[in-house]
Amino acid sequence: MTDAHQSARHPVVETAGGAIRGTSAGGDGAVFAGIPFAAPPVGTRRLRPPEPAAAWAGVLDAATFPAGPAQRPGIAPDVEAMGPEAVAVAEALGAARGPFSEDCLYLNVWTPELGVRLPVLVWIYGGGFETGTASPPSFDGAALSRLTGAVVVAANYRVGALGWLYPAGPDADGWAESANLGLQDQVAALRWVRENAACFGGDPGNVTVAGASAGAFSIGALLAMPTAKGLFHKAILQSGSVTRVQSPETAEALTKAFLAAAGVRDFGSLLDAPVEAILQAQSAVTDADIGRRNLPGGRIWGVVHDGTILPERPLDAVRDGAAADVPLLIGANRDEIRIWADFGGPAYRPADEDALLAEMAVAGIADPPALLAAYRHRLRCAASAAVGSNPAGVDELRDLRTMFLSDAVYRIPSARLARAQAAAGGRANTYLLTAEPFGPGTGAFHGAEALYLAERLAALGIDTPENRAIRAELVGAWRRFVHAKDLGWPAHGPAEPQAARTRQIGGTVLDIDEPPLDVAAHWGIR
């Protein structure tokens, strides 16, 4: 094999840390896998902020995708046995395949062409802050790069207790800088992108950070972090916003429960704990129910308003103009919680109507009976339009809770973020995905957008003209946004942010009110 042929198949680029050898990905494209952007967070670095990666001599072989961060395997054998549709749903919800390792602070780069200047899209994965990985097959960076025409970078960040444990206990003062380690990992990766994007054909002056679910909630926090300022220029938040943030009091209670479950008395003792003991303890102390997890006071891993790493609550920071210079594209799915209702079985259903009303009160609803009546009217109208009457076998309380939680956790916070951004003089475009890739049973479920953004329609047997049209509309919006082009529908306006419309993607493309007018006032949005 000639040197020229070898070079074409394995291009080499020079980065700030040293030379890296990648792999050709067809045409002029290439992929570079497993690039260290921070030192391994192991040993004495466990539960410490990320430190710079050491430079290397010679050429680093970037041909192998890195292990995901330490976590429990997310795709169980029984899910695998259910077929590709079930696996696709699990992956859309953030379930990741192994291998996993504490030594995880690596990133992957997919580039359409070297030696040019293309937009950069930095992907932050979801997974409830407990699972996820930047590597295939859980994340198809090659497809996203082809569809958006951008250099795509995906970085691992620590998850679960190792990434989100809040310093508390007798030695908390010595660990004050260890809050929100997952966010700090993301900032370290963004710094690497600023320093090295040009080596891979990317424009460090045109960086879009994008993510879904926990990835989008992370971006909501990054908008408010002083250390992240200037590291990205646009942001796409899919099924996540700025309100999934724990108070220090809730986070401290979770930490103390975790330390007890792990059988240790303080943070320092965790340095010697087996990683499996940490994973077991972190699962034992969180809420399992999707509502309890995500409503105020719920025990769950994730972003904490610690006052130091994250000095201001993200929604307040956006209202104050912290992200006014960062255009936002904010998306939600119509039936976000539907899939968890299916997974939850009988335990998901409210015990009675009073239980559902109490849950609405926890979410801050001033008049829960009025909101419940609005959802019930909408549900019965939809059922009547579909079959002429309310069909037998419909579990109304279950469906009412699903509508409420879809709004409480995803749709309403997204609308509030858009209005806050517009009121501060920034730009925010919003869309609502109503596509039903697997039909009305699962609806436009949480994670459904991933099937379109990762070119999975053919593999799942749903490559229909309708789904291809939905893919073209959704991908087209992302591509235009990444390339700083007009999206084709108006942004929220600073004078009257509530007057802006949201683009519906799925079936008929049109502009709609979001949230719908029948519930907007009950949520305090007019």
pLDDT for the residue numbered 42: 98
**Residue 359 in this model has a pLDDT that exceeds 70:** yes
Taking a C-beta distance cutoff of 8 angstroms, is the pair 127, 96 a contact?
yes
Question: In angstroms, what CA-CA distances link 509 with 277, 499, 505?
Answer: 50, 19, 5
**Residue 312 in this model has a pLDDT that exceeds 70:** yes
Q: The domain that contains 411 carries what CATH number? A: 3.40.50.1820
Contacts (Cβ under 8 Å, ≥6 apart) of 252 = 166, 168
pLDDT band at 196 (very low <50, low <70, confident <90, very high): very high
Please state, rounded to an integer, the average pLDDT across all residues of the chain.
92
pLDDT digits (tens, 9 = 90+) for 135-163: 998 899 999 999 999 999 999 999 999 99
Contacts (Cβ under 8 Å, ≥6 apart) of 217 = 129, 240, 241, 242, 244, 302, 303
Residue 231 belongs to some domain of the structure: no
pLDDT for the residue numbered 392: 46
Average pLDDT over residues 450-471: 93
Residue 498 belongs to some domain of the structure: yes
**Residue 308 in this model has a pLDDT that exceeds 50:** yes
Residue 181 belongs to some domain of the structure: no
Average pLDDT over residues 470-479: 97
pLDDT digits (tens, 9 = 90+) for 33-69: 999 999 999 999 999 999 999 999 999 999 999 999 9
Residue 321 belongs to some domain of the structure: no
Domain that holds residue 390: 334-526
pLDDT for the residue numbered 492: 87
Sign of the four-CA dihedral 210, 211, 215, 220: positive
pLDDT for the residue numbered 508: 81
Taking a C-beta distance cutoff of 8 angstroms, is the pair 156, 104 a contact?
yes
pLDDT digits (tens, 9 = 90+) for 331-358: 999 999 999 998 888 999 999 999 999 9
For residue 21, give the 3-state DSSP assignment: strand
Structural domain total, the chain = 1
**What is the signed CA dihedral for 298, 300, 302, 306, rounded to 10 degrees?**
50
Average pLDDT over residues 357-367: 97
Secondary structure element (H or E) that encloses residue 403, with its range:
helix 396-406
Contacts (Cβ under 8 Å, ≥6 apart) of 452 = 435, 437, 467, 470, 471, 474, 475
pLDDT digits (tens, 9 = 90+) for 480-503: 999 999 999 999 876 554 556 899
CA distance 154 to 152: 7
pLDDT band at 389 (very low <50, low <70, confident <90, very high): very low
CA distance 96 to 127: 8
Within 13 Å of residue 31, how many CA atoms lie on the same side as its CB?
20
**Residue 8 in this model has a pLDDT that exceeds 70:** no
pLDDT band at 384 (very low <50, low <70, confident <90, very high): confident
Give residue for tokens 């010679």: 58
pLDDT for the residue numbered 164: 98
pLDDT for the residue numbered 151: 98
Q: What is the set of active-site residues?
A: 213, 336, 446
Task: Return the structure tokens found at 160.
Answer: 């679960």
**Residue 394 in this model has a pLDDT that exceeds 90:** no
Residue 200 belongs to some domain of the structure: no
**Residue 126 in this model has a pLDDT that exceeds 50:** yes
Residue 285 belongs to some domain of the structure: no
pLDDT for the residue numbered 279: 97
Residue 44 belongs to some domain of the structure: no
CA distance 103 to 40: 5
pLDDT band at 2 (very low <50, low <70, confident <90, very high): very low
Residue 226 belongs to some domain of the structure: no
**Residue 30 in this model has a pLDDT that exceeds 80:** yes
| Per-residue exposure over 98-125, b if at least 16 CB sit within 10 Å of its own CB, e if not | eebbbbbbbbbbbbbebeeebbbbbbbb
Average pLDDT over residues 275-288: 96
pLDDT band at 1 (very low <50, low <70, confident <90, very high): very low
